[in-house]
Structure formats: C-alpha cells, structure tokens
Amino acid sequence: MTIDAFINHTVLACPMCMSGADDNTAIAANSAIGFLLIVLLGVLGSFLTFIFYLARKAKTAPID
C-alpha cells in the first residue's frame, strides 16, 4: 500500500476552496489577513526601531 492511498485529497485543499465561499466571505478573509499582516509589521518595526535606539544610545554612553 502506498501513502497516497491513505491520504484523502479533499483534506489537502483549504476550506475556502472546498466550501465554495461567496465573494463576501473571500473579501472578509483577505481583509483579515491584510489587517494581521499590518499589525505584525507594525510590531516588528517597533522592535527594530527600539533595538536601533538602544544601539545608538550605547555608542554615545560614557564608559566609566
């Protein structure tokens, strides 16, 4: 027996493709993904900015 015999091919497709989602559902899913990407990039950008701020402050700090 092959592994392919154990895998149902409909399980491999995403739920949006198999459910026949209408336009409103697809728009909502794409909007949610876009919003989460914007939030993720904002948080990562904040961390990166803070790291650069700390590195710049470390260069100018007096060494005692």
What is the per-residue pLDDT across 2-57, written as a single tens digit (0 to 9) for each?
666 556 555 555 665 656 667 788 788 889 999 999 999 999 999 999 999 999 99
pLDDT(61) > 90? no
Other beta carbons within 10 Å of 21: 15
Query: Residue 15: its pLDDT value, please?
Result: 63
Q: Which two tokens stand for residue 7?
A: 């895998």
Helix (H) and strand (E) counts in the chain: 3, 0
pTM over 0.85? The answer is: no
